Structures are given as C-alpha cells and as structure tokens.
C-alpha cells in the first residue's frame, strides 16, 4: 500500500459515499444535550518554543476531546498566550479570558497539554485549580504521564514538577556563569580599563584606559572631588566608559554595592562576582526587576594580581578618604541643612535656570544673608565661564514674572501657541510612528535570536556559556526596548485654554510680584508655583558684554494653563522662546515699581482704614490732636501693621505721618488705648492684626526709660 497521501480528487469522489454511509448507520440523536462545554488553553514562552507548539497543543486537546466525547464550546474555544512566561499570571490575556469563562459558568471542562501551561508556580496552579473545582469545572491534562482529569493530588504533583522544571532552567543558565566566575573568568561586560583577549572570559589591561583610571585615583587622593575630576576629563575630551561625557556618579559610585571606578576592587587585583541578586515581582500589574546585594560571604572573591591597575598604597588612600567622607556625612546629618533653608523664600522657578555656557545654575547664600544668588559652577569652580557676575534670584524671578504677565499671557501669544502646537503635533506623531515601527522590528529580531539560542545550545556543546551570556544580554536589551515602546507618547491633542484662566493668572502674577521674595505657605500658593513651573520650563541667563544688564531666554508653553494639564503635558508639549533684556538690578527691591503702585492703590481705597463707627469709638483717645490728623495717624498705624512697609515708606496720604509722629503715638500709650477699645468692640479693623512691631517699640522705649532713670536707693 503506497504511503503517498490520497489525491484530492479521490477524496472528493468518496465524499458522497461517506455521507450516505453515515446517514444509513447513525442513530437519531435529535434533542440530545452536549455533555460538556470544554475549552482549550495553550501557551508557549519565549524560551525557544515556536508557534507550532500551539498547534501541537491544540492537536492533543482535540484528540483527547474526541476520545472522551467532550464537546468544545461553540464559537471560540481555543485560548492561546504566545510568548508569555508561566511564572506570572499578569499580562496573559488568554488566561484571563478562560478564567472569566469559568466564573461565568460558560464552560465546565478545561483542557491543557500539560499543567505547566497554566503556570510554573505551584501556588498559582493550586489557586486556579481550587477556583475551578469550586465552580464545578474539571481540568484535564491531554498528554504525558498524568493524562486525564486533574484532582487535588494531581494538581500538587503536576505543579511541583512544573516548578521544579523552572528552577532547573534557572540553575542551568546561572550555574555556568558562577562556574566561569569561580575560575576567574570575566562574566558580563568588560570593565573600563580592560579589553577582551579574544578568548571567552579572558580580559587584559587596556593601557590607554588604564592611564585614565590611575589619573582618577591620583586626583581623588590629592583632594579633587568626583565632579571636578569629571570636569577635568571632559575638558581633555576623554571619552567615558560609554563613549559620552564623564559625570560624578560613575566615578564616585555607591558604598552599599561597591560600584563606581573608585570602589571597583578589580583595579587593585581582586576579582568580585555575584554581589547582586535579581528579584522579580509584580507592581501595579506589571513585572518589575530589582537588584539586592548578596551577603559578602556569598560573593566570589579571587586574587588576580595580573589585572591590577593601581598600586595598593594609592588604593588604600582612596578608600580611606571615601570612608572619612561617609563618616562626615553621617555625623552632620541631613535634617539640619533642610531646617536652615526652610525659613527662606520659595524659589518659584526652581530647577529651570541654566547659564549661557550650558551649565545648570545653582543657588547659594552669601554668608548670613537670606538672599539666594545664582551661580555658574564653571565660573565659580573651574574659571572656564566668563559669567562671573552673580544675580539674586529675587531680581531674576521678578523679571520672568513681568515677561509672563506682559508678553506670554496675551491673545497673540495664545493664537501663535495653538498654530505652533498643531504644526509640531503632526511632526511629533510622524516621529512617534517611525520610532514605534523601529522598536517593534528590533524587539522581533531579539526575540528570534533568543529563541534560536536555546536550539543552538541544545544541539552544540561548544561555547554554550557564550550563548547563555549573549542570551542574557539580548533579554536585557529587549526589556529596555519594550520599556521604550511602552513609554512612547500618545497622540497629541490641542489643549483647551480658557481665556478667563489667562486673566486670572495675570491677576495672580501681579499679586505675586508684589510679594517677592515669595513664601509659599498655603495650598493656593503651592498650586500657583506648580502652574508657573509648568508654564516656564527653562531660563537661560546670559550677561551682556560691556553692560551691567543681563539677558533672559525663557522657554515656556501655555499648555500649563490648559484645562486638562495632565493630559496636555503627557503628550510632549511644544514650547516657545521669549527673550528679555533686563537692566542692572536696583539696590533696593527689584519689584519697587509694582510694590509702590500696589500699596498706593490700597491706601487710596482705604483698604485697612477705620470705619466711621470705629472712629467715633476712639476719637476721644486722640484728644490734643486735630480730628483729621488723629484719624489719619490711626489709619497710618493700621496700614503699617497690615503691610511689610517701613514707617518712612508709607504711600500717600500716610506719608504725612512720618516715623517720629507714629513712634510718639505708640510710646505715649495712645495706640494701646485705641487698639484695646477696637478689640473690645470686635472691630474688623483689628481682626487678626499682628501688633508685634508696636509691642517691640513699647518694650524698647520702656527699657530705655528705665536705664536713663537713676536708682534713688543707690543715690541715698
């Protein structure tokens, strides 16, 4: 009999005969109810399995169902998760759909090729089996030693085998790395200062980079900080380990896990491996990986003097300085400095300042002063920036607020913003699409490499460790690309900006300019600061040559005023640059013009003045003074206590009441009498009034009088 498949024409010819035979011999099952409503669940992970494994699992389930007379669920009865690990149940849509069918009573039998298709964790297997049993659903295994219905004992045994298989896979991929490390072979990336010899796991000193390592150790031992070392290396155009610019973090590292160039023991001839342990967990429904430091006794530590780059004496000096700095930070503590700065004003545009040379500006206080000054690190520490002058943050922030009020918050700026937003949104969406396609293509390539590596490792006994190392690198790269894919911005939507919000922001800025330097104390204060920080994202400060003024290049976006700020800001808002030429800051208040106008308006409106009823209550106390001057004097005193102005800086008409008149009014007790009467009658003029400045004036006057009066007992 030929093994060749039956021709299609012959099958077609036999079809009528088969139908007639079936009609002749079958029994009438009219009205029969299916004994089961079963579904198939299939899964393969990314450990070398392919799409064909799903087909194989479906074939086993079909054969088992026909043999046992089980009827698949009408419609969709095959649920498959492709490329999903069995360690966790999250991100498995097909499994979630099956569990939903079980809970809704739509199926009463679930077929699997093996129980490890559900999970490779015993607890998860038992949890699913327990829920299915409670709802009257049977779980059946369709192949292998444990073929048939899974009872409680079978679930435990199958779950144990699945979990054991997973642990075995992890051990196979991990023990090889530890064996290589225990032989002194390099595992993972080649450290800075070394290069591969061409033999797997062997490295040698790379002298050009080794010289940089010695220079870093030498400079640090002589007292240079990591930031200064990084600046010096960048000035010499020395590429970092990753080929970019140097920073302080890769040099200094962290003491807890002995990272950083200054802490790497290999540079003194000690090979370390196994310091970290990866912990996988589920956070907010997503798989997360974090690293913990193993106990020191579990590390692999081997002497490799042939790989030493720095001598022991220099290494010891560096480690002693690292320990001394750590002890100093521990003894000083962190809360003391925070308490010191908490009493100072709020930096409204914190983190947005940059120097025209490209450095991020930082703030500092001059001696005991409470005024912050903007400083360029390159100008102060390295003398490589010409912007050696300093500016107070108060003066700069007043100018920024004026630019926002006068130029950013107007109709023309709003229309230009929307036009620019639409244009840039189209460009951004095109770039996002291109980036998404590239990431998906690269992820697919890495997945193919990872799947193929398992097959190659099984078929070949040579260079198996190389394949495992490469697979680990591919998996890490794929995870990083998947995170980038998830983090791609969503389609941009034009934010809606209410014109009333622009007017409201103008009023708030007018009031804020007057309050500068600003102290954010209330919730509204913090909300205003947050809105301004979203509005202004960058401020570049540059000095004008041969001029005492300066220039501000402000990058801002009106999306900070959108009705839905979170959605607008999440989609990558385009921005617009504003330029402002500022004169030399005045010696006094930077906001003197706004302050004068604001307080002049308050005085003209009589905001804090006595009412006619209040004046009738206290008029008799001011006998000896004319009525007009007496009432004016009381109003001036109230205005002074309600504001932060000086007695000689009061606006008209209170400028007639100079310091001498008001002081006499206080020290003679007239103010105290007026205040007590108004307080007894619950006058709004003194409600919540802080009288500390007048109280201090009374105490000082009493002390001076006591010092000038001779003691009569001593005179006798």
Strand partners, 270: 303
What is the 8-class DSSP label of residue 558? G
Inter-residue contact 513 to 401 (CB < 8 Å): yes
Q: Which pLDDT band, with edges at 50, 70 and 90, does 368 fall under?
A: low
Q: What is the pLDDT of residues 630-678, one digit of tens each?
A: 888 888 889 888 887 888 888 888 888 878 888 888 888 888 888 999 9
Query: pTM for this one?
Result: 0.42
Inter-residue contact 481 to 439 (CB < 8 Å): yes
Q: pLDDT over 70 for what percent of the chain?
A: 69
pLDDT at 36 over 80: no
Beta strands in 357-409 (DSSP E): 362-365, 372-375, 391-392
Residue 401, Cβ density class (10 Å: 0-12 exposed, 13-18 middle, ≥19 buried): buried
C-alpha to C-alpha distance for 311 and 544, rounded to whole angstroms: 50
Question: 254 φ, ψ to 5°?
Answer: -130, 140
C-alpha to C-alpha distance for 598 and 367, rounded to whole angstroms: 32
pLDDT recorded at residue 435: 81
Q: What is the pLDDT of residues 79-112, one digit of tens each?
A: 988 877 766 676 788 888 888 888 888 888 899 8
Inter-residue contact 80 to 42 (CB < 8 Å): yes
Question: 284 φ, ψ to 5°?
Answer: 55, 40
Q: pLDDT over 90 for what percent of the chain?
A: 3
Sign of the dihedral through C-alpha 95, 99, 102, 108: positive
Round the average pLDDT of the chain to a whole number and report it.
76
Q: What is the pLDDT of residues 159-175, one digit of tens each?
A: 566 555 555 555 544 55
Strand partners, 677: none
pLDDT at 420 over 60: no
Mean pLDDT, range 304-327, rounded to an integer: 84
For 575-597, the three-class secondary structure string (H helix, E strand, C coil) is CEEEEEEECCCCCCCCCHHHHHH
C-alpha to C-alpha distance for 449 and 46, rounded to whole angstroms: 10
Beta strands in 384-519 (DSSP E): 391-392
Neighbours of 302 (CB within 10 A): 13
Neighbours of 576 (CB within 10 A): 15
pLDDT recorded at residue 540: 92
Residue the block writes with tokens 């007992």: 713
Question: 678 φ, ψ to 5°?
Answer: -65, -35
pLDDT recorded at residue 224: 75
Closest Cα to residue 156, out of 129, 118, 191?
A: 129
Inter-residue contact 579 to 399 (CB < 8 Å): no
Structure tokens at 703: 């002390």
Q: Which pLDDT band, with edges at 50, 70 and 90, does 334 fall under?
A: very low
| SS3 category, 555 | strand
Lowest mean pLDDT segment, chosen from 77-86, 336-345, 675-684? 336-345
Contacts of 557 (CB under 8 A, 6+ apart): 417, 534, 535, 537, 573, 574, 575, 576
Closest Cα to residue 618, out of 665, 583, 576?
A: 665
pLDDT at 354 over 70: yes
Residue the block writes with tokens 């106390």: 621
pLDDT at 261 over 80: yes
pLDDT recorded at residue 87: 66
Name the residue with higher pLDDT: 361 or 486: 361
Beta strands in 208-334 (DSSP E): 270-273, 276-283, 286-293, 300-303
pLDDT at 571 over 50: no
C-alpha to C-alpha distance for 143 and 530, rounded to whole angstroms: 62
C-alpha to C-alpha distance for 466 and 458, rounded to whole angstroms: 13
CA distances 170 to 163, 167, 181, 468, Å, are: 11, 5, 17, 11
pLDDT recorded at residue 40: 92
Name the residue with higher pLDDT: 376 or 301: 376
Closest Cα to residue 564, out of 539, 586, 534?
A: 534
Name the residue with higher pLDDT: 630 or 122: 630
Exposure of 191 in the CB half-sphere (CA atoms within 13 A): 29
Q: Which is it for strands 138-141 and 109-112: parallel, antiparallel or unpaired? A: parallel
C-alpha to C-alpha distance for 574 and 577, rounded to whole angstroms: 10
């Amino acid at each position: 009999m030929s093994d060749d498949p039956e021709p299609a024409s012959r099958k077609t010819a036999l079809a009528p005969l088969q139908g007639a035979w079936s009609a002749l011999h079958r029994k009438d099952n009219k009205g029969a109810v299916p004994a089961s409503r079963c579904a198939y669940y299939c899964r393969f992970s990314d450990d070398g399995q392919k799409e064909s494994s799903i087909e194989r699992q479906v074939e086993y389930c079909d054969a088992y169902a026909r043999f046992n007379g089980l009827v698949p669920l009408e419609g969709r009865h095959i649920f498959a998760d492709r490329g999903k690990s069995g360690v966790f149940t999250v991100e498995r849509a097909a499994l979630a759909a099956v569990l939903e069918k079980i809970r809704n009573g739509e199926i009463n039998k679930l077929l699997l090729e093996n129980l490890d298709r559900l999970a490779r964790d015993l607890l998860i297997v038992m949890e699913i089996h327990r829920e299915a049993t409670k709802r009257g659903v049977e779980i059946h295994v369709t192949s292998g030693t444990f073929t048939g219905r899974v009872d409680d004992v079978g679930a435990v045994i199958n779950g144990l085998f699945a979990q054991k298989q997973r642990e075995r896979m992890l051990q196979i991929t991990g023990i090889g790395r530890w064996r290589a490390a225990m032989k002194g072979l390099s595992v993972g990336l080649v450290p800075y200062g070394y290069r591969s010899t061409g033999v797997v796991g062997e490295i040698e000193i790379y002298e050009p980079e080794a010289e940089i390592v010695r220079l870093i150790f030498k400079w640090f031992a002589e007292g240079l900080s990591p930031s200064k070392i990084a600046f010096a290396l960048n000035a010499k155009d020395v590429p970092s380990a990753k080929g970019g610019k140097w920073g302080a973090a890769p040099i200094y590292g962290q003491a807890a896990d002995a990272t950083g160039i200054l802490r790497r023991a290999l540079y003194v001839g000690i090979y370390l491996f196994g310091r970290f342990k990866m912990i996988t967990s589920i956070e907010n429904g997503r798989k997360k990986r974090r690293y913990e430091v193993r106990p020191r006794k579990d590390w692999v530590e081997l002497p490799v003097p042939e790989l030493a780059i720095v001598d022991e004496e220099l290494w010891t000096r560096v480690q002693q300085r690292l320990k001394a700095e750590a002890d100093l930070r521990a003894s000083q503590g962190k809360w003391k400095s925070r308490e010191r700065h908490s009493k100072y004003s709020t930096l409204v545009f914190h983190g947005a300042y940059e120097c025209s040379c490209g450095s991020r500006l930082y703030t500092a206080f001059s001696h005991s002063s409470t005024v912050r000054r903007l400083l360029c690190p390159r100008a102060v520490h390295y003398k490589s920036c010409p912007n050696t002058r300093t500016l107070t943050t108060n003066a700069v922030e007043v100018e920024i607020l004026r630019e926002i009020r006068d130029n950013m918050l107007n109709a023309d700026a709003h229309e230009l913003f929307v036009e620019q937003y639409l244009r840039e949104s189209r460009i951004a969406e095109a770039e996002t699409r291109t980036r998404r396609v590239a990431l998906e293509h690269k992820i697919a390539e890495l997945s193919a490499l990872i799947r193929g590596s398992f097959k190659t490792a099984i078929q070949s006994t040579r260079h198996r460790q190389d394949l495992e190392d490469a697979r680990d690198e591919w998996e890490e790269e794929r995870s990083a690309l998947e995170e980038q894919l998830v983090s791609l911005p969503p389609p941009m939507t034009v934010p809606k900006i209410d014109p009333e919000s622009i007017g409201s922001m103008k009023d708030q800025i007018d009031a804020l300019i007057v309050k500068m330097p600003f102290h954010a104390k209330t919730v509204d204060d913090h909300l205003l600061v947050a809105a301004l920080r979203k509005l202004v994202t960058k401020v570049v400060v540059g000095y004008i040559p041969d001029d005492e003024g300066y220039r501000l290049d402000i990058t801002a976006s009106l999306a900070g005023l959108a009705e839905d700020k979170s959605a607008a800001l999440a989609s990558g808002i385009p921005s617009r640059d504003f330029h402002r030429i500022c004169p030399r800051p005045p010696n006094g208040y930077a906001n003197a013009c706004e302050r004068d106008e604001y307080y002049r308006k308050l005085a003209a409106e009589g905001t804090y003045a006595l009412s006619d009823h209040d004046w009738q209550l206290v008029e008799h106390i001011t006998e000896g003074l004319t009525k007009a001057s007496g009432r004016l004097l009381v109003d001036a005193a109230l205005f002074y206590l309600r504001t932060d102005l000086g007695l000689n800086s009061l606006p008209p008409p209170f400028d007639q009441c100079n310091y001498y008149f008001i002081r006499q009014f206080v020290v003679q007790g007239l103010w105290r009498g007026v205040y007590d009467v108004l307080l007894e009658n619950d006058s709004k003029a003194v409600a919540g009034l802080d009288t500390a400045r007048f109280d201090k004036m009374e105490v000082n006057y009493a002390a001076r009088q006591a010092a000038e009066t001779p003691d009569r007992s001593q005179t006798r």
